[in-house]
Amino acid sequence: MRIRTSMLALGLLASVILAGCSTTSTAPGAARVETKGIFTDSYGAVTDAGYALPAIPISRLDKRFHRQIVDYATNEKPGTIVVNTRERFLYYVLPGKKAVRYGIGVGKQGFSWSGEAYIAWKQAWPTWHPPKEMAERKPDVARYVEEGMGPGLHNPLGARAMYLFNEKGQDTLFRLHGTPEWSSIGTAASSGCIRLMNQDVIDLYKRVRPGRNAKVVVVQ
C-alpha cells in the first residue's frame, strides 16, 4: 500500500493531510478516565519475527503515555478503537466500561479531522512506500516510492500497520502503525498517520480482527 500526501476525506466529517506516515477533551460519551493498571514493564527488548526490537527507555516518557487499563465510559462496543488526537491517546474498548489506553503521536495536521472508519486489513513488518510529494522534498527516499522500503527496525511504519478504509470500502491511506521514534509519542511530530511505540502496536495488533466490525472513531 502506498501512502500519499493529499487532502483526504474519510467520507466523514473532515479531511486529513497525509505526508507519508513516515488533551483534555474527551471521547464521545466519556464521563471519566481513571487508571487501573499500568504496563510500564512491557517495554523491554523483544525479538519479533527475527527482528530484535530494542528496549524503550520508558522512564523518560510521561507516564500518561505508558500502556494502561483505564475506566472508560463510552457507548462504543468492545473492540472499537477510539483515537483522541488532541489528548494523544488511543483507546481499545474493553467490556465492563474499561479500555486499554495507548500513548500516540499524531501528524502535524492530525487534529484537523474526525470521523469513522474501519480496519480492513493489517500487516506485520510492512513495506513502506513514501508518497511522491515526500520524495520531492526528500530526494534520499525517492527510490522507495516504487520499490518500497522493506521491513526493518528503521522502517517508518514500524513493526505493525493497520489500514483504515471508509464506509464505502475505499482505502483512506490512513494507518495506525508502529514507530522506532518512541520520543515522538505524545507529540504532533509525525507526517500524518497515528503512530504507537512498537511494543504497543504489537499489543494492539493482537487484539484487532480486521473487518467491518473493527471500527475506528477519531475524535478531537
Q: Quote the cell numbers at residue 125.
A: 513488518
Range of the domain at 165: 7-219
- Per the CB < 8 A criterion, the answer to whether 84 and 220 are in contact is yes
Residue 1, domain member (yes or no): no
How much is the average pLDDT of 86-101?
96
Q: Which residues contact 63 (CB under 8 A, 6 or more apart)?
A: 38, 40
pLDDT digits (tens, 9 = 90+) for 174-215: 889 999 999 999 998 766 689 999 999 999 999 999 999 999
| Side chain identity, residue 97 | K
Please state the rounded mean pLDDT for residues 115-125. 96
CATH code of 52's domain = 2.40.440.10
Residue 213 lies in a domain: yes
pLDDT band at 21 (very low <50, low <70, confident <90, very high): low
At residue 199, the 3 state secondary structure works out as helix
If one compares 112 and 18, the residue with the highest pLDDT of the two is 112
Percent of the chain's residues with pLDDT above 70: 80
If one counts every other C-beta atom within 10 angstroms of the C-beta of residue 114, the result is: 18
Query: In what helix (H) or strand (E) does residue 209 lie, and over which residues does it extend?
Result: none
Tell whether 2 is covered by a domain: no
pLDDT tens profile 61-85: 999 999 999 999 999 999 999 999 9
Instruction: Report the pLDDT value the prediction gives residue 113, as an integer from 0 to 100.
Output: 63
Contacting residues for 215 by C-beta, under 8 A, at least 6 apart: 76, 77, 79, 80, 81, 116, 117, 118
Q: Are 120 and 166 within 8 A, CB to CB?
A: no
How many domains is the chain built from? 1
Residue 115 near residue 204 (C-beta atoms within 8 A): no
